[in-house]
């Protein structure tokens, strides 16, 4: 949740996100608050408020959480969505753009995804925007558009390029595009980013017509698109936002970031028959027999304090039932402590994949497991 004014200034008044999709309400102190529709504006606010930009630059941050947009729900489009995001603030070096994009691409690859593409463009700098906007407004004025679209062309002409209606798209074939009107510095910046992505072996397609739903973007802007999702194909996106920090009351610092849509990334995995989980939750499962229960509980505490993810069988289950629990737990190692082991201060550590069992002194269990675990 955030202060409404911050989100309006950050995301942009004329965007759909602000004008149609925010959950805004007044609190008891008569303040206007909004369930956050995205994370970047809030991260900037936090950087400014806590002076995180006063140390070494760039500041690199990540976040994950719930975001809220009052969109019409459909497959892959939710009113409560989840994002994972990264932001790097304080450098306009093209190497930072390439780093952020490569991390994003590696993230999708690490899930095993292959059916996505990275679309890339440059939206230029604030100096490029004015003359380009004039060109676009002039072009749009010559088209046959309805009143609402004319109004949109007046408020935010770029957004008209994103109009999905075929009768509008047909008229936009010759529209001037920002990529063709970059200043020399922005053109060089963009070509450096592309060269670094090539060197990192990150494939991309230029999409000169890309329009993002948030207004803060400048220069490098990108989207990851998956074809297996239907209409809601964007599984992540991001870009530079060189004026955002100053606009929100901070220093004149540039930045770049990326937001991964967790819900849609899961759908993409599903579409490709991939299972991103289950992530192994346990390293070891302890099965105590008879009188060994108290000692097992102490061992569990000792292991947890040493950072080993541990669970144990409770109640007085017989060995067979407890081993079934061990199997279901998914832990790669099981420790069995029988009464005779206890007398000898020993336990049996069983590797679940090979079935191999080793007798280990109880005092050495932590050390022994630390050696075994990755």
Q: Under the rule (CB under 6 A), what is the footprint of ligand HAM? A: 38-40, 69, 71, 76-78, 81, 83, 85, 87, 213-214, 234-239, 257-259, 261, 263-264
With respect to ligand HAM, which residue has the nearer C-beta, 255 or 288?
A: 255
The answer to whether the beta carbons of residues 266 and 315 sit under 8 Å apart is: no
Please, are residues 280 and 332 in contact by the beta-carbon 8 Å criterion?
Answer: yes
What φ, ψ does residue 186 adopt, rounded to 5°? -70, -35
Minimum CB distance to ligand HAM smaller for 235 or for 284: 235
In a 3-state reduction of DSSP, which class is residue 315? coil
Tokens describing residue 171: 């008229």
- Which residue's beta carbon is nearest to the bound ligand HAM? 261
Token duo for residue 261: 């849509």
Nearer to ligand HAM, 244 or 365 (CB): 244
Question: CA 300, CA 186: separation in Å to the nearest integer?
Answer: 58
Decide whether 86 or 153 has the Cβ nearer to ligand HAM: 86
326 phi and psi, to 5 degrees?
Answer: -60, -40
Q: How far is the CB of 71 from ligand HAM (least distance, A)?
A: 5
- State in angstroms the smallest separation of the CB of 43 from ligand HAM: 8
d(CA 177, CA 312): 62
Considering the complex, state which of residue 21 and residue 302 has its C-beta at the smaller distance from ligand HAM. 21
CB of 225 to ligand HAM, least distance (A): 9
Beta-sheet strand order (sheet of 333-337): 310-312, 284-288, 333-337, 346-351, 357-361
> Which residue, 81 or 303, is less far from ligand HAM as judged by CB?
81
Helix boundaries (H) for 50-204: 94-110, 126-141, 147-155, 157-160, 166-169, 184-199
Distance CA 227, CA 187 (A): 29
Shortest separation between residue 212's beta carbon and ligand HAM, angstroms: 6
CB 245 to ligand HAM: min, Å = 12
How near is the Cβ of 22 to ligand HAM at its closest, in Å? 12
């Amino acid at each position: 949740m955030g202060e409404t004014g911050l989100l309006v200034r950050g995301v942009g008044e004329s965007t759909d996100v602000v004008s149609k999709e925010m959950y805004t309400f007044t609190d008891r102190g008569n303040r206007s608050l909004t369930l956050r529709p995205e994370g970047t504006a809030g991260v900037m606010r936090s950087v400014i408020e806590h002076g995180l930009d006063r140390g070494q630059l760039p500041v690199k941050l990540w976040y994950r959480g719930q975001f809220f947009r009052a969109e019409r729900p459909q497959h892959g489009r939710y009113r409560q969505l989840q994002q994972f995001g990264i932001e790097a603030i304080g450098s306009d070096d093209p190497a930072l753009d390439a780093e952020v994009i490569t991390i994003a691409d590696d993230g999708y690859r690490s899930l095993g995804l292959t059916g996505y593409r990275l679309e890339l463009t440059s939206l230029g700098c604030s100096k490029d925007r004015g003359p380009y906007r004039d060109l676009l407004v002039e072009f749009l004025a010559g088209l046959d558009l309805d009143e609402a679209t004319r109004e949109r062309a007046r408020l935010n002409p770029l957004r008209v390029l994103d109009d999905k209606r075929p009768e509008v798209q047909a008229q936009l074939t010759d529209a001037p595009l920002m990529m063709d009107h970059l200043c020399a510095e922005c053109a060089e910046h963009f070509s450096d980013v592309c060269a670094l992505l090539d060197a990192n072996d990150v494939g991309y397609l230029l999409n000169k017509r890309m329009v993002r739903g948030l207004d803060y973007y400048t220069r490098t802007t990108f989207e990851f698109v998956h074809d297996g999702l239907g209409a809601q194909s964007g599984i992540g996106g991001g870009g530079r936002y060189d004026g955002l920090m100053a606009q929100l009351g901070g220093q004149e610092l540039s930045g770049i970031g990326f937001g991964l849509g967790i819900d849609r990334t899961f759908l993409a995995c599903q579409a490709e028959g991939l299972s991103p989980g289950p992530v192994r939750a346990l390293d070891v499962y302890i099965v105590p027999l008879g009188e060994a229960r108290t000692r097992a509980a102490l061992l569990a505490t000792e292991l947890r304090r040493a950072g080993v993810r541990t669970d144990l069988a409770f109640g007085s289950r017989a060995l067979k039932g407890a081993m079934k629990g061990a199997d279901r737990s998914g832990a790669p190692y099981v420790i069995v402590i029988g009464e005779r082991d206890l007398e000898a201060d020993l336990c049996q550590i069983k590797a679940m994949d090979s079935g191999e069992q080793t007798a280990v002194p109880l005092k050495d269990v932590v050390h022994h497991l630390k050696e075994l675990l990755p």
